[in-house]
Amino acid sequence: MPATSVVGLQWGDEAKGKIVDILTERNDIVVRYQGGANAGHTVVMDGQTFKLSLVPSGIFRPEVQCVIAAGVVINPPSLLQEIEGLVSRGIQVSKNLMVSTRAHLIFPWHFEEDRLMNESTSGEAIGTTMRGIGPCYRDKVGRSYAIRLGDMYRDNFADRVEQIVAAKRKILTGLGCTEDSFLLDAKKIHAQYCDYAERLRPFVGDTTAYLLDAVEANKKVLFEGAQGALLDIDHGTFPFVTSSNSSGVGVPSGSGVPGRWVTKVLGIVKAYCTRVGGGPFPTEQDNAIGQHIREKGNEYGTVTRRPRRCGWFDVVAARYTARLSGVDSLAVMLLDVLSELPELQICTAYELDGKRIMNFPDHVEDLRRVVPVYESMPGWQEEISHIRRFADLPQQARDYLDRLSVLVGRPVEVVSVGPDRQQTIFANDVHNA
């Protein structure tokens, strides 16, 4: 059976790109199915660093077909810049990239709305990436003001832009913007998007049909999740979430491939936790430990460079998202970042109103009030980024991984000890150790 999915089980930035890049070797097709240029994937190859936002990490292998499916929202200049940046560094991007005609487009008004909504929210701001993601998904669901990639090649494209610009002008003015601040000129926007349409033409296709044919022909397909399951619009820490289904449940809706084809789900976690933007984070360490993790792990946003909030591993959250995404096994990333810390803490349960709970709260205000219950483990002092076999890891590191595995209830299949492809320890070693 053909399909594997790779899902982040925390608040994103779990280093999924590295795992996807490694797994592409065993797959024919790699698919992005939700999110947009709010995602940032870093792939380090032969000492060269590549940052991807929309293009699947499979792009570095020319024999692999990369697909940006219907559930992704696309800002055409970002996608073009990414494609052109890859090409200028010698990476082949042509027939090996296919972008869905059904994918929704981000327009300049979406950026303006993202900014306004963030500023005008009372209380803690969501702290979005300001890439127009939420407003574009809102228009998709609302339908009246939405434009999809395939619409750019239709005769009524100019009329659609004109109608929507007229409506958006009223909305933005109503929100308190002055005309000069949002500068929406329908003719200019139309001309610009026609240029993007021509440059994107070689990549555009019906990815839903393509993927259905592929799974039925027994091709090996890899689904690459963006963000993490705790940011899922329906099942995450709402409203401090992104606007798509970033847990495993997003695969069928975003790609059009029924969930029954996905036979293996790999859940990606960091050896600790991070979060960017607002929202509760029970195990956050806003102190020297958090600072140590941030500096050692270079925990600054790939897209926005914002410092990430850092904290201890949260089993309550990871067990919830592992179940939600149907995870079979775990990849534990950035284990090397914990080296040198004398003592490690794992959050094994929460206390809420004096009661111990194991379930992840369904309301953000309850999550804000939980008190984490920690279990301590001794750390290890030595550097581990050169280690390639599980058996060669310090005993304390092995014990830490075993404990995470038992508590989350899933085996650890992969361990990452550095950003390079080579700095990876695989399950066989784990089991043979």
Instruction: Give the residue numbers marked as catalytic.
Output: 13, 41
The single residue among 3, 43, 231, 257 that binds ligand IMP, judged by CB under 6 A, is: 231
Going 91 to 93 to 94 to 97, the CA torsion angle's sign is: positive
CA-to-CA dists, residue 214 to 25, 31, 132, 210, 282, angstroms: 17, 12, 32, 6, 42
Residue 136 binds ligand IMP (CB under 6 A):
no
If you compute the radius of gyration of the chain from its CA atoms, what whole number of angstroms results? 22
Strands (E), 290-405: 309-311, 313-314, 329-333, 343-352, 355-357, 371-378
What is the rounded CA–CA span in Å between residue 34 and residue 92? 24
Which window, 129-137, 347-355, 397-405, 422-430, contacts ligand IMP (CB under 6 A)?
129-137
What is the three-class DSSP state of 302? coil
The residues, any chain, with a CB within 8 Å of residue 90's CB and separated by 6 or more, are: none
Residue 259 binds ligand IMP (CB under 6 A):
no
The residues, any chain, with a CB within 8 Å of residue 328's CB and separated by 6 or more, are: 264, 265, 266, 267, 410
- Kindly identify the residues of this chain, within the stretch 150-179, that bind ligand IMP according to CB under 6 A: none
Residue window 13-42: x/- pattern of binding to ligand IMP, with contact defined by CB under 6 A: x------------------------xxx--
The single residue among 3, 126, 204, 268 that binds ligand IMP, judged by CB under 6 A, is: 126
The single residue among 97, 116, 133, 273 that binds ligand IMP, judged by CB under 6 A, is: 133
The single residue among 32, 110, 131, 309 that binds ligand IMP, judged by CB under 6 A, is: 131
Count residues contacting ligand IMP (CB under 6 A)?
Answer: 21
Nearest-approach distance from CB 51 to ligand IMP, in angstroms: 12
Nearest-approach distance from CB 291 to ligand IMP, in angstroms: 19
The single residue among 10, 34, 65, 243 that binds ligand IMP, judged by CB under 6 A, is: 243
Nearest-approach distance from CB 243 to ligand IMP, in angstroms: 6
Taking the least distance from each CB to ligand IMP, the nearer of 65 and 244 is: 244
DSSP string covering 205-252, please?
E-HHHHHHHHHHTT--EEEE--S-GGG-TTTSSTTSS-SS--STTHHH
CA atoms within 13 A on the CB side of 98: 22
What is the rounded CA–CA span in Å between residue 72 and residue 70? 6
Nearest-approach distance from CB 16 to ligand IMP, in angstroms: 9
Residue 12 binds ligand IMP (CB under 6 A):
yes
Which window, 94-102, 120-128, 363-371, 374-382, contacts ligand IMP (CB under 6 A)?
120-128
**Interface with ligand IMP (CB under 6 A):** 11-13, 38-40, 126-129, 131, 133-134, 226-227, 231, 240, 242-243, 276-277
